[in-house]
């Protein structure tokens, strides 16, 4: 059992929790909780840390205990695990996972791609929720720029609830050039925009489609908006001007899903 704060593995995990640069350099991200561990691809799990109490709990859950026997794990003292965790009330299990590798070409090879293009999102909960909701809606990938919050931020990972393992995503240096490439590939791009002239359910998303969502406070940049094939709006009642980014994204993704299921 690991009991010392001076243990190099403990120090490394604490550093990974705090510094995106260190996670990137190591090619890993951290996933906490029994669900995140259970859904993690075994071949991508590098290390597993389990608190004393969580180890006893795991023994009563055959699927988790069998997986732990295959991946291996190290037991950590309760107080020490709390220091290693990024959560207020940790479940007592944390795994170090290799980062997946995706490319834009891979996303474009999908049949009738349904993509989310995210510019400068700053809230890790929004990004994680969009990825999670996107899996439910059947999107084929997420494209974001370098100024969007780190997809491997521990809060983002938690918000995905495991979808980060299954939804392909890429981070691009120049979203404007990427959107131009989408258009060349026959994918129509739509900007969620206050200046939209049509409601989101009045447009057709049966073919290759990409929805563009901008920063929570400022929306999409003028340069990226100008490249859209169309502006769409989400109608509002009362004095509400706009919706949370992840809520707006959910409406758009599920409208596309509805149309495709009904053959609209």
Q: Which residues contact 137 (CB under 8 A, 6 or more apart)?
A: 114, 250, 253, 254, 256, 257
Nearest CA to 68 out of 44, 50, 80 is that of 50
As annotated, the residues of the chain forming the CATH 3.40.1280.10 domain(s) are 104-262
Half-sphere exposure of 80 (CA within 13 A, CB side): 20
How many helices (H) and strands (E) the chain has is answered by 12, 11
pTM higher than the cut 0.85? yes
Question: b vs e for 50-70, b when ≥16 Cβ sit within 10 Å of the residue's Cβ?
Answer: bbeebbebbeeeeebeebbee
pLDDT for 98-133, tens place per residue? 999 999 999 999 999 999 999 999 999 999 999 999
Q: Which residues contact 233 (CB under 8 A, 6 or more apart)?
A: 192, 193, 194, 195, 196, 197, 198, 199, 200
Half-sphere exposure of 118 (CA within 13 A, CB side): 31
User: What's the pLDDT score for residue 153?
Assistant: 96
- When the pLDDT of each residue in the chain is averaged and rounded to a whole number, the result is 95
Average pLDDT over residues 237-261: 92
| CATH number at 104-262 | 3.40.1280.10
Q: Under CATH, domain 8-98 is a member of which superfamily?
A: Ribosomal protein L30/S12 (3.30.1330.30)
Average pLDDT over residues 212-240: 91
Q: How confident is the model at residue 192 (pLDDT cuts 50, 70, 90)?
A: confident
Q: How confident is the model at residue 264 (pLDDT cuts 50, 70, 90)?
A: low
As annotated, the residues of the chain forming the CATH 3.30.1330.30 domain(s) are 8-98
User: What's the pLDDT score for residue 235?
Assistant: 87
């Amino acid at each position: 059992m690991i009991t010392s704060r001076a243990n190099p593995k403990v120090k490394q995990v604490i550093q990974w929790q705090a510094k995106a640069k260190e996670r990137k350099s190591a090619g890993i991200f951290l996933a906490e909780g029994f669900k995140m561990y259970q859904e993690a691809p075994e071949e991508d799990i590098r290390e597993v840390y389990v608190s004393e109490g969580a180890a006893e709990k795991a023994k009563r859950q055959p699927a988790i205990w069998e997986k732990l026997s295959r991946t291996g794990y190290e037991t950590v003292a309760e107080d020490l695990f709390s220091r290693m965790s990024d959560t207020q009330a940790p479940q007592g299990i944390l795994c170090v996972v290799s980062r997946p590798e995706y490319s834009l070409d891979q996303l474009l090879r999908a049949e009738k791609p349904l993509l989310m293009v995210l510019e400068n999102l700053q809230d890790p909960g929004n990004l994680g929720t969009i990825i999670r909701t996107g899996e439910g809606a059947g999107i084929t990938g997420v494209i974001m720029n370098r100024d969007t919050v780190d997809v491997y931020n521990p809060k983002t990972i938690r918000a995905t609830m495991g979808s980060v393992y299954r939804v392909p995503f890429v981070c691009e240096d120049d979203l404007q050039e990427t959107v131009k490439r989408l258009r060349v590939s026959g994918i129509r791009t739509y900007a969620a925009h206050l200046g939209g002239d049509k409601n989101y359910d009045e447009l057709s998303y049966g073919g290759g489609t990409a929805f563009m969502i901008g920063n929570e406070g400022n929306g999409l940049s003028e340069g990226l908006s100008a490249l859209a094939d169309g502006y769409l709006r989400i109608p509002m009642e009362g004095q509400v001007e706009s919706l949370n980014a992840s809520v707006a994204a959910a409406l758009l993704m599920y409208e596309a899903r509805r149309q495709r299921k009904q053959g609209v």
